[in-house]
Amino acid sequence: MTTIKVCVGSSCHLKGSYDVIEAFKEILKKYDVEDAVDLQASFCLGFCDKGVVVNADSFEGPKVQKLGDDILFIHNVNKDNAEELFAKEIYPLLNL
């Protein structure tokens, strides 16, 4: 199971994080990976100037959100580029 966290902190909220969540819901359905991905919301993931931030963590990692090689941050997500970013950055990581 891969966890995707969409930031819903103040900054990302103002930049439309709820639209991104909606977009991801659609995408997961479209790619038929709803069972393989746990879509979650998270409070601030950092990088407020680069929102909306999405974090895809495909590893059994530490629960505290930390910057590291095993955690992927994707910046500047919006509802229009969500699919493109998903296909490019997240889909290959899924253990399908």
Partner 1 sequence: MSTNKRVFDTNVQIVKYNVLKEVIRRAYEGGLEDAYYEIPKVICPGPKPQIRCCVYKERTIIQDRIKLAMGGDKNNPNPVEVIDIACDECPAEGVMVTPACRGCIVHACQDVCPKGAISIVNQHAVVDKEKCIECGKCAKACPYTAIIMQHRPCMVSCKVKAITIDENKKAKIDNDKCISCGACVYKCPFGAITDKSYVLDIIDMLKKSENNTKYNVYAVIAPAIVSQCRFGRPTQVVTAIQKLGFHQVVEAALGADITLYNEALEWKEKGLMTTSCCPSYVAFIEKNFPELVKHISHSVSPMIMTAQLIKHSDPTAKVVFIGPCASKKAEFKLEKTGGAIDCVMSFEELQAFLDARGIDTVDCEDTVLDNGSFYGRIFAKSGGIVQGLLDVAKDLNVEGLKPIVMSGIDECRANLMKLKFGKATENFFEGMACEGGCLNGPLCITHSPRNIVDVDKYGNEAKEKTIYNSVKLYEMTKE
> In the complex, which residues of this chain contact partner 1 (CB under 8 A)?
5, 8-11, 13-14, 18, 21, 38-44, 48, 63-66
Q: Which is nearer to partner 1, 25 or 30 (CB)?
A: 25
1 in Cβ contact with 15 (< 8 Å):
no
Residues 6+ apart with CB under 8 A from 95: 2, 36, 58
Alpha carbon distance 44, 65 (integer Å): 10
Nearest distance, CB of residue 95 and partner 1, angstroms: 20
Nearest distance, CB of residue 49 and partner 1, angstroms: 11
| C-alpha distances in Å from residue 30, one per residue of 4, 61, 86 | 16, 27, 12
Nearest distance, CB of residue 20 and partner 1, angstroms: 11
Q: Which is nearer to partner 1, 43 or 59 (CB)?
A: 43
Q: Which is nearer to partner 1, 33 or 48 (CB)?
A: 48
